[in-house]
Amino acid sequence: MNATPPAVCTRTDSLYRLARLTLKELRETLRDRRTIVTLVLMPLLVYPLLSMAFKQFLVAGVGSTKPIEWRIGVQSDEDRRDLERILNASVRLDDPYLDTEDAGETDETVSPLDPSTPPKPALEQIKIGVFPEDLAEAVEHDIVHAGLVSRSREAPTSQRPAGRVQFDLLYRPDDAPSRELAEFLAAELRKYYEEELTRRLQRLGESGERAAQWRLRPITRETTGPGSLATLVPMILILMTITGAVYPAIDLTAGERERGTLEALMAAPVPRLGLLLAKYVAVLTVAILTALVNIAGMTATLIATGLGPVIFGPAGLAPGAVVAVFALLVLFAAFFAAVLLCVTSFARSFKEAQAYLIPLMMVSLAPGFVSLLPDLALNAWWSVVPLANMVLLARDVLAGQVHLLWGAVAVATTGLYAAAALALAARIFGSDSILYGSEGSWGDLFRRPDRLAPQASISGALACLALVVPLYVLLSGLLVQIASQGMTQQLVASSLMLLVLFALLPLAVARFQSVNLAAGFQITHASPWSLVGSLLIGCGAAPLAMALILLSQKFGISTFTTEQIAEKGPLVERLVAAWRGIPPAVVYLAIAVAPGICEELFFRGYLLGALRGRVPAWLAIGSTAVVFGLFHASVGGIIALERVLASMALGVVLGWVAWTTRSVIPGMVLHVTSNSLVVALALRGEWLHGLGWNLEGKDQIPPAWLAGAILLALVGALLVYLGRRTSPPVVSPAAPVVTPG
Amino acid sequence: MISVVELSKRFTASGHDVLAVEGISFTVGRGEVFGLLGENGAGKTTTLRMILGLVEPTSGYAEVEGFRSTQSPDAVKSRIGLVSTSAGLYQWLTPREMLLFFADLYGTTPDVAERNLARLADIFSLHDYLDRRAATLSTGQKQRVNLARSLIHDPPVLLLDEPTRGLDVLGSKVIFDYIAQAREAGKAVIVSTHRLDEAERLCDRFGLLHRGRMMHQGTLADLQAATGLSTLTEMFLRGLAAGEVQAA
């Protein structure tokens, strides 16, 4: 029984061990019958039951929403009198039929003339209004429940078929009272004119054609998004996905602690983050499996019941949309699994975890249910609200009406929220106060570290980014709202937004995290060489960025077509003219200086500073450049793909400069210089034109410009490299906190 | 092999400061069994957790084979086998699956893990229920599996926190027999137990904890000389009754 030395593990071994740890968590979870019930049995039961309830709702469940007054629109007083006469006739025949010739024009999938439909409206409840011009619009906007258009009367008198009356019945297929009223009117018309036909045949001995024809014309709301029923489906899918993730999340954290296995796990030489990641992957896997089973169950049910077109419109449920919604569910599962682990890590027992999750579910479901409101669009506000953004985006995907920008924002923010939640969970999972102490509380999550740190933690930086992104989206939306104000006010507001979001907020967060602000934001002295070098790179950056934008457009990586860009020309000219109408200093400060300083402070100071020494340089620079590029993708509420590549490239250069010099100041010089050149080109363009430098109408940068820009950038890079700092600046924990001015 | 130097832990519970462990120091060498004795709440478990690196000390430090638990927690953890009073089993796994899983966590190669598993199954008589789901095992069987779990990577240091709790006489004997074997194998062992009679027979040296402080430390002869009492039980009862607090 000789003691053997513990094995030394390489990084690869650790990764494999992590995978095996995940497999063990999955094995433990999937053997539990409760997981199987949630995973398989629930979807098998829920969707057929829901479809039955849904059909019942469509057929008979309108009672509660049945209006007291049924409003019918017609186009003339003559039509109204005819209709009143028909309705008052109250003649009943036993074998109504629909005009087979016109049946093809009916939205057959809706089948409003289903004989199993409920009792008809009482005649005294019916009100008839005259809408000579805009009857279809009145139906569409719910001013009337249905409309009756006399096609016979629309035609010139000479062309009207003798003895025949033709009607169009306008109704909304997505509105139960409208469908019901249309059915009622169709039946009444049918009865009246069949009786009329019978009378004629008897009187004249004719074997004439049918006296009346009608066709159903569904009116869809073109100006609004999908109905609330279409929102309900992704909402149910999301709820079921949550349900699938809840049990494993509790079991693998609070449950493990309650059973006493967590301590044994924490006693093993595996990093806490590794244990948490294994649990996260296990919970996520179960959530994804749940989503997969649910989406399969829902799709099968919709196909089997034929409810797809009723809910999602005539096209029904497209296979591509199902795949896209599944991808969204995976993303949402990634987010919610992290939130669940974060919350359940606090709990000391299964029961306590359940008590924590109830308020969480209530809070989570509120925006989800709000998103069920009809006509709610995925906009700047809703795209950053967790859960609601996924519900609305999934609804739009199913309806084939996705707004690219807000959809991208919803996806990006959800991914970011997931990362932030996981970072918070890592902070508390298995900590000694949670593992053993009775003193562990929610306050631990926000407890300030006792010692001053030289850099922000990755989890802290992620949390800050998760705060900045939605605020950026919301405030950008507010900026658009004040577009009617003067240009000075707009520029001041824009600068203030940058100052708050990219400077004051990160500084406050870092201060709260007990980060030494000078070191944490890399606000340190830089060599004169690096400053001069950055200035030169900044001079070359603007033409190179422009060349990249043009290159992107040339290769089709572009949102705007050449025609669209040409159309925007006058707008840009008006903008530049407005800039020229105010003092140039204001324009330079707002467009060049403020972004240059504030963005560098956040992206290269705070974010890059948090990654330094913890991840390889290429990953740190690359990831901050991607985030930087995505922040610059939006132009006037639209994603401009052509800008992404150029912004990311600039982000890489700025990241390299900050990494090399260990200071954020050279990057500020570079950024401000580059921005200033763009502003100068805009304000003093005619001066360049006078020199024969005119880019208008050109699809590429003149080679001489490019060569000059590349030369400047290379010389600048050489100077930055010569002025690099190889060792970190000395930071004393007791150093006074520096607040940049 | 184990050095504990001026180790303290202060908790905050319900707004009050609680000094769970106050400046205790001791060492345990190879092939030595150290008994950490004291009433409930004396700080035994907290001390073991600080040695392992599961609880961060307020001051002081603990080292295992030269590795400080606060600075190299993984190096310390890989050298220790912990048997805890509160340890449980994964209900949906079999003992074999669980033992091999923990062997893997400690970086033990599969063939070595299998050999260790076979050896421990012999020592603790696990063969009959090695492939049964853990939820179906009795308390004693679970405790034996737990002990095997803490030894599956054959660690040079053992921390045993109330290892015989819930075990019958036969089960307790198996544990104490194993501790004797561990001493023979040159392992450093710290045992926290209420079974003072067994501890007296088994441990080479003792540390008597009372309210977080080390009252007495040494061999049984040292303690007898210091207290004038003959057995650990008498010393323990005297200490409780007098509320005696003395620095070691």
Task: Work out the average pLDDT over A542-563.
Answer: 74
Number of Cβ pairs < 8 A linking chain A and chain B: 109
Query: How much is the pLDDT for A734?
Result: 39
Percentage of chain A exceeding pLDDT 90: 7
- DSSP class of A44: H
Query: How much is the pLDDT for A393?
Result: 85
* Residue B84: C-alpha distances to residues A262, B147, B192 (Å): 11, 9, 10
pLDDT greater at residue A499 or residue A103:
A499
pLDDT at A629 over 70: yes
pLDDT at A177 over 80: no
Maximum mean pLDDT: which of A216-220, A479-483, B240-244: A479-483
pLDDT at A155 over 60: no
Test B93 with A28 for CB contact under 8 angstroms: yes
Chain A: give the shortest CA distance to residue B202, in Å: 19
Contact residues on chain A for B153, CB-CB shorter than 8 A: 6
Test A261 with B89 for CB contact under 8 angstroms: yes
- Three-point CA angle B100, B101, B105, nearest 5°: 115
pLDDT at A302 over 90: no
Name the residue type at position A359.
P
Distance of CA A653 to the CA centre of its chain: 30
Of all residues in chain B, the one with the smallest CA distance to A266 is: B54
Test B89 with A31 for CB contact under 8 angstroms: no
Q: What strand order describes the sheet that includes B67-68?
A: B16-28, B2-13, B59-64, B67-68
Test B101 with A439 for CB contact under 8 angstroms: no
pLDDT one-digit tens code per residue, A726-740? 766 655 443 433 333
**Which site among B19, B97, B106 would you substitute to test the A interface, given the most A Cβ atoms closer than 10 Å to its Cβ?**
B106
Considering only A78-87, A646-655, B173-182, which range has the smallest mean pLDDT? A78-87
Give the closest of A8, A263, A439 to B12, CB-based: A439
Maximum mean pLDDT: which of A228-237, A350-359, A690-699, B98-107: B98-107
DSSP chain B: -EEEEEEEEEEEETTEEEEEEEEEEEEE-TT-EEEEEESTTSSHHHHHHHHHTSS--SEEEEEETTEETTT-HHHHHHTEEEE-TT----TTS-HHHHHHHHHHHTT--HHHHHHHHHHHHHHTT-GGGTTS-GGGS-HHHHHHHHHHHHHTT--SEEEEESTTTT--HHHHHHHHHHHHHHHHTT-EEEEE-S-HHHHHHH-SEEEEEETTEEEEEE-HHHHHHHHS-SSHHHHHHHHHHHT-----
pLDDT greater at residue A676 or residue A126:
A676
Contact residues on chain B for A8, CB-CB shorter than 8 A: 107
**Which site among B32, B86, B93, B116 would you substitute to test the A interface, given the most A Cβ atoms closer than 10 Å to its Cβ?**
B86
Query: How much is the pLDDT for A253?
Result: 85
pLDDT one-digit tens code per residue, A607-616? 999 888 888 8
Test A7 with B87 for CB contact under 8 angstroms: no
Task: Work out the average pLDDT over A126-154.
Answer: 79
Please give the structure tokens belonging to residue A53.
Answer: 């309830």
Test B77 with A268 for CB contact under 8 angstroms: yes
pLDDT greater at residue B5 or residue A230:
B5
Cα gap B166→A296, rounded to integer Å: 49
pLDDT one-digit tens code per residue, A233-266? 777 888 888 888 888 888 888 888 888 888 888 8
Listed as ranges, residues in chain B with pLDDT below 50 are 244-248
In chain B, CATH 3.40.50.300 covers: 2-79+156-242
Percentage of chain A exceeding pLDDT 70: 72
pLDDT at A681 over 90: no
Test A268 with B156 for CB contact under 8 angstroms: no
Task: Work out the average pLDDT over A147-174.
Answer: 67
Q: How confident is the model at residue A164 (pLDDT cuts 50, 70, 90)?
A: low
The rounded mean pLDDT for chain A is: 75
pLDDT at A5 over 50: no
**Which site among B70, B72, B76, B78 would you substitute to test the A interface, given the most A Cβ atoms closer than 10 Å to its Cβ?**
B78
Of all residues in chain B, the one with the smallest CA distance to A430 is: B54
Query: How much is the pLDDT for A572?
Result: 72
Contact residues on chain A for B78, CB-CB shorter than 8 A: 6, 269
pLDDT at A452 over 70: yes
Give the closest of A9, A24, A266 to B101, CB-based: A24
Contact residues on chain A for B155, CB-CB shorter than 8 A: 3, 6
pLDDT one-digit tens code per residue, A90-102? 544 333 333 333 4
Test B107 with A259 for CB contact under 8 angstroms: no
Cβ atoms within 10 A of the Cβ of A628, count?
Answer: 23
Chain B: give the shortest CA distance to residue A42, in Å: 22
Give the closest of A6, A31, A261 to B107, CB-based: A6
The predicted complex's ipTM stands at: 0.89
Of all residues in chain B, the one with the smallest CA distance to A30 is: B92
pLDDT one-digit tens code per residue, A389-427? 888 888 888 777 778 888 888 888 888 888 888 888 887
Fold of B2-79+156-242: Rossmann fold (3.40.50)
Query: How much is the pLDDT for A724?
Result: 82
Query: How much is the pLDDT for A563?
Result: 65
Considering only A367-371, A487-491, A549-553, which range has the smallest mean pLDDT? A367-371
